[in-house]
Structure formats: structure tokens, C-alpha cells
Chain A
């Protein structure tokens, strides 16, 4: 819902009736401009109080409930004007409009009666009233409907991101907290629905697996042994779960140590040497990765070469020769049979030489085999003609396999040529792989060398703290890495053990396994995997969408600033968690960005959260008290512009644009209503709170 107006009666410094303390709002960026102490925060309090029954107590830096704050809510001026026995009330009225053009009035009232000077009898708590505008008048709604309406003004889960004070921005999004982004994604999307699906699938998988195990036990040739094996399997599963959890913890520890090391690197004094180290290491790292890819491809090709380049035939020649000999003996015998009883015995198989060549020999009157001439009419010419006129042997053999044997012979002939080159081909391949491996080793050594130079840089660093911490975290990382390797080895053994037990159980099974039980186990276990991977996929797509939106917004907000601002990168840690980082154009973390930049990044993230997926920005009003209070001046323009373009309605109190000559800039935004507020003390004593009220003036641009 969009906020149409707010009005206050004797609420804190806003003394007087509603009529003199009313602000109307429209779509776009609504600004309430005021100097420090001008009533901006009390206005933010008014919004907050009407919805949440709490106000911000500045000395305690926390929200305080009406029950505690009591008559402090009431304007001092109103209280001073009261006689003993009089009752006075603090009231705030908010009028909101739904997308369906329904209007609601939300009123909160707190009353107190003056018993004596400085003695008040106040209500225990405030009263909330909500009415709907129907048929030209306000109709009070039953209190059962209140929470529903309030939730439509500002849903609880987005409240911290939609309604905030400038000084809260820092704590809204803790960039160092590795769970912050996941929490936000869980909070702002329907991703947690997948947990229900995962839970159903996991329970189903566990039950189906139990059923199948039970069934296998009943049809086992040794039920007692099956039972004992199942117990072993269960303990093995528990061990696997335990190891997986330990590996997760280890991943988390490795990431933490890695982050710490990176953070410390950024603190080294010699920025120039550090930058040189970074860029040289990046080049070498890229080269190393590319060589690794080349090696993978080369190995890939080697493996294929066994078959595609026929390396597997490396030593085959003697066996081909053996086949040739056998085939030769076969052919002689075969042809003897074919030619038996014929005057002119032709030892060549049928169609050999090929008819096309024989025809050519007849035309040329020459024999291509012996090179002698065979003029027409000669015996030699007749002999050549007889080659082509041969008929296939009929009924000589039960089965004539000559063509098939010939085809096998031809197959070997074709390979014969390729075999000669195998040794050379393998040699070249080895040479290539050795070459890549050498280059990899060389590059790895160079990286090591750079790292050691960097260690020297660290050691020479003036701060002993940095050196100590750097060494400690580097050692920690190595320790965790070693621990992870050990755990992975244990996991591998446990998985193998599980497989062995499972196969022993399966071997004991006699008779047929119930297909339904088997299928249920298969389907549920796959469903479980599917549900988990789907959730992961959805999560990652939300993360990538958020990253894209944050950067778009960040870019918009910083367009007026020429300094290096970096960009927002959601870094995925080995344990699957994402953390937001500010990186430079080469992807390196900017470890000491200025505070203003950090605030901007956080605001960009918050705006991305609100605008990216659910489009909260279209349906709810963003209300913020002095959001630019910690921001450098040249960032504020970008911030307001982005806010006015991306949010249907925002209501912002600020001291920016206080001077009249700065108000012109407001025309560049999608601006709503603009008010200027200032404290007023008619008697002239600005320290006398009993004389304090606020002047509200609409600024016409």
C-alpha cells in the first residue's frame, strides 16, 4: 500500500491539532527537509509508532515501547497548556491507499490526565483504530482485521530493509557475516518452500530404504547375518554423515582463514609492491590454469589415442603376419577347389584384379601385372579376357566365406600402413605432455617464488601484528587443508566399506526382490537428490540476479563520482555460502574502501533485495530517516535519483537540499511532495520545550 498522508496531534515536538501537522504524499520521492533538531527523526518516529507502537529513544539508541515511554510521547507544549484534571492525547493518523484504491485510516492514540504539576496518570498502552473509507465515510474495522491491514502497509519481514534510519544501514547488512546473504535470500524469496519438498523427499527416501532393507532381510538366505550387516550399514551411514559434517566445518574454517589472509595482505604497507605482486601473480595464475587445461586436453587425447589413433595395435605386426599366413593357406586351398577340373587354373580370387582394371588391360592390350604386351588375338589377350568372364563357383562349398575373410584381410592391410607410424605418434604425444608438465612446474615455482617474495614483504612490514596474524592464519589454512585431505580419505574408505556391506547384503538375497519396493527406493532417493539440487539451483539464480541488480544500482548511484568505486561481487565459498565483496576491475578485493562507499554498497544491496525479485518496491513505501547521513556529498545525488526511479514511493527525511539554491536539483528526480520543516518557539526561547512546535511548509518546485 502507498501512504497518502500522515498527521500528528501533540506527538512529541509536533504540538497542536492534526490540521497543522499534516503531510500529504504522492508517488515518487517525497522529501521532508529539515535541519538537525528540526523534527525529522520525530516524524520517522510517528510512522514507526503508528504501526509498531514503538519510538526511537536516542540516548539509549533503541526502540522503546509506549508502555515504557508513556507520557513522554505527548508534546511538552500540549502538556504545559493543560490544567490539572485535563486529559491530553498524542495521536498519529496514517492514511494509506491500496492498489485497488481502497483507503484505510490507521490511528494510534495515547492519553494522559494531569494530576498535578509534572504528575500524570497515563493509559497503560496506546489504542489502535483502523477504519476503511466506504460510502463517503470512515467505517471502523473490527480489531481482528488490524494485523492483516498493518501487514499490507509494511510486511514484517521486509520492514528492516524498507523502513530504516541512516545510522542503521551499517548494521542492516554485515558484509563480513557469511550467513547474511543467505538469510536475506531465505527471507525475501520463497526458497524455504523447497525445504518442505526436501524434507518430504528425505523422509520418503529413508522410509523406502528401510522397507527395502527389511524386505531383503526377509528373503535373505541368512536372516541373522543380513540383520547384523544392516546394523553395520547403519553405523557406516552414521559415520559417513559425521565425516561429511566435519568436512563442511573444515571448509568453513578454510574459507575463514583464507579471508583473513587476504584481508591481511591488504594491510601491508608497501602498496606498490603489493600491487605488483598481485598483477604478476594473476598473470602466472592465469597461465597455470591455462596449462592445466592444456594438460587435461592432452591427457584426454592420449586416452582417446589408444583407440582413435590405434596405439593399442602397437605390437600387432607379428599377429597380422600370422593371420596373413593363415589367410594365404586358406586362399590356396579355397582356389584349388574353385578351379578343380578346369583347363586353365586361375589362382586369383573372383573379381581379382578388379573388373575395371581388367577391362583397361584388354583395351590397352597389355598386362598390368607382368608388364608384357597382350595384343588382340594372342594367348595372353585371351587369358586376360578369361579373367573377366569367370562365374562364381556354384555348389562347391556349403558356405563360401571368402568375401568375409578377404574383408578381414583388407582391414588389416589398411591398418598395416598406420601401424608403422604408431611409435612416432606416441613419442610425440609423450613429448607434448612432458613439455606441458614442465611448463606447469615452472609456473608453479614462479608462483611460489612470488609468494615467498610477498612473505618477505610481509616480514618487512612495520606492523608486527600483521606479520604475526598473517603467519598464524596462513598456518591455520594449511592445517585445515591437511585436515580436510585426511577427512576425505576417511570418507572414501567409509564409502567403500558401505558398498562392500551393501554387496554382501545383496549377495545373501535369494528369490526375487519386490519390484515396487525397489522402485520406491530408487524413486525417492532420486527425488531427494533432485529436490536438493533444485533448491541449490534456485538459490544460485537468485544470488546471481541480486548481484546483477546490486551492480546496476551501484553504478547508477555512483555515476557522479570519479573515484575508484569498485563493484559488488558475490563470492562463493567452498562451503557453498556467498559473501558480498567490493572488488576492483581485476577482481581483487578493495580492502579499505571509504565508509561512504561501503554505505553505498550496502544501500545498493538493500535496494537490489527490494527491487530484484519480489518487486517490493512497487507495492510498499520506503521510509527512511536521513539515509545519506553517512554518505559523501557527491554520492547523494545518485542515491536520490536511483531511489526516485526504482521505488514507486519513498518518503525520506533529510538535511540535504536545505539551502534554496540546492532545491533546483530536485527537478531532476521523479519527485513527489517536498516539505520543509523547522522548529518554532513563539516566545523566542528555543531551549524551552514547553514552547516547541514544528512549522511544516510545502515547497513548490
Chain B
């Protein structure tokens, strides 16, 4: 019995190497104690938090970067470990909604087809998340002081 939840849960979306320094700058690598992120002046306590955030920023601003095979992506934790789970599910529904993922066909086709369809969703997630990262990073590159504002990441949602 194939489980979509399992298949989506095992996905490890990635980010482009050029964002690594930026991610290190604002997210606490590999998690750690929640309290630490403030003492270290990090806005996100996990890489996946930043990644989810970047996905939605990319999505809302229709900023996508289509990843090609030449783009070597750095992957991190499987999606089944991302928290909160409901938010990860919302991200999935958005990616399904905007992708060519065919909900009916996958009920009739074989495993290979399903895997290809799942990859379509993964591509959407990566396209918008990297797009979001590009958008945030270029803004901060232009004005590094933005990070001094504790509210910056919340304000960005409204622009």
C-alpha cells in the first residue's frame, strides 16, 4: 500500500549553495536550544523554519527559480521532521495546487509515475523556496541593517 504522506515525508528539498552563508547567518544550524537563537541573534531556530518561510515568501511574490540538473542543491532534513506538521502540510497543498501534480492520474498509474509526480511537487517547493531565499538575501545584501530590525521577517510578509 503506497502512502503519499510517507513519500512526501521522505522528500529532502534543497537550497542552492550560494545561500549557505546567508542561511548560516540567520538560522541556527541543526536546531539547538530554542533560547540560543536569541543570544546568537538568529531569527530562525532551524534551517527548515527558514526554508518554509522562504517558500511562502517566494510563493506570495511569485518569485521562483527553476532548478536545473546543473544546480547542485544542498539538502537537509526530510520533510517528515519539519515542525509544525500542519504548516508543512499547508506548504504541500500549496505546492500541489500550483504544480502539474495530477491527483486523479496517480490513483491509476504505477509507482514510477507516482514518483515522477512527487518530484513535480518537490520541484515546486524548491523553486519557490530558492526564489524566496533570493528575494530575502538580495534585500538584505542591499541593506544589511534590515536584520537589526527584529520585526523584519514579519514585515516582509506584508510587502
Contacts and interface: CB of A to CB of B under 8 A. Distances in A.
B140 interface: no
Interface string B85-102: 011011011101110000
A456 interface: no
B147 to A, nearest CB: 13
Interface string A317-352: 001101101110010011000000000000000000
A315 interface: yes
Contacts of A296: 38
Given A299-B38, A313-B90, A319-B59, A399 B96 contact: no
A429 to B, nearest CB: 8
A330 B103 contact: yes
Contacts of B4: 401, 404
A420 B31 CA distance: 30
A307 B106 contact: no
Interface in A155-210: none
B96 A326 contact: yes
A306 interface: yes
B89 A408 contact: yes
A444 to B, nearest CB: 17
B25 to A, nearest CB: 11
B27 to A, nearest CB: 11
Contacts of A411: 86, 89-90, 93
B96 A323 contact: yes
A433 B157 contact: no
A322 B97 contact: yes
Interface string B50-71: 0011001001100000000000
**Which of A322, A334, A408 has the most C-beta atoms of chain B within 10 angstroms of its own C-beta?**
A408
B108 interface: yes
A306 B153 contact: yes
Contact of A310 (B49, B87, B92, B103): B87
**Which of A306, A314, A429 has the most C-beta atoms of chain B within 10 angstroms of its own C-beta?**
A306
B150 interface: yes
Contact of B94 (A303, A319, A429): A319
A398 B110 contact: yes
A498 to B, nearest CB: 14
Given A314-B158, A323-B97, A398-B107, 8 more contacts: A302-B150, A305-B154, A311-B154, A312-B53, A316-B60, A323-B94, A404-B5, A408-B92
A462 B89 CA distance: 74
A330 B96 CA distance: 12
B2 interface: yes
Contacts of A326: 96-97, 103
Given A307-B84, A408-B89, A401 B154 contact: no
B127 interface: no
B122 to A, nearest CB: 16
A319 B97 contact: yes
Contact of B98 (A322, A327, A408): A322
**Which of B4, B87, B103, B157 has the most C-beta atoms of chain A within 10 angstroms of its own C-beta?**
B103
A305 B4 CA distance: 29
Contacts of B43: 303
Contacts of A433: 150-151
A330 to B, nearest CB: 4
List 3 A-B pairs, minimum CB-CB distance, nearest first.
A323-B97, A330-B103, A322-B97
Nearest to B96: A323
A368 interface: no
Chain B interface secondary structure, helix, strand, loop or mixed? helix
Interface string A399-421: 11110110111011011000000
A426 interface: yes
A319 B98 contact: yes
A401 B108 CA distance: 10
Contacts of B110: 398
Interface in B79-133: 83-84, 86-87, 89-90, 92-94, 96-98, 103-104, 106-110, 114
A314 B87 CA distance: 12
B142 interface: no
Given A319-B98, A323-B97, A312 B108 contact: no
B2 to A, nearest CB: 5
B103 A401 contact: yes
Given A302-B150, A316-B90, A408-B96, A311 B157 contact: yes
Interface of B: 1-5, 37-38, 43-44, 49, 52-53, 56, 59-60, 83-84, 86-87, 89-90, 92-94, 96-98, 103-104, 106-110, 114, 150-151, 153-154, 157-158
Given A312-B53, A408-B93, A399 B107 contact: yes
Contacts of B97: 319-320, 322-323, 325-326
Interface string A539-565: 000000000000000000000000000
B87 A313 contact: yes
Nearest to B56: A312
Contact of A313 (B56, B98, B153): B56
A62 interface: no
25 contacts: A300-B38, A303-B38, A303-B44, A305-B154, A307-B49, A308-B84, A310-B87, A311-B157, A312-B87, A313-B87, A316-B60, A319-B93, A319-B97, A319-B98, A320-B94, A322-B98, A323-B93, A333-B104, A398-B110, A401-B103, A401-B107, A405-B103, A408-B93, A414-B86, A433-B151
A316 B56 contact: yes
Contacts of B109: 398
Nearest to A298: B150
Contacts of A320: 90, 93-94, 97
A325 to B, nearest CB: 8
B15 to A, nearest CB: 17
A235 B94 CA distance: 51
Contacts of A400: 107
A305 B155 CA distance: 13
Given A323-B97, A401-B106, A314 B157 contact: yes
B43 to A, nearest CB: 6
Contact of B108 (A325, A327, A397): A397
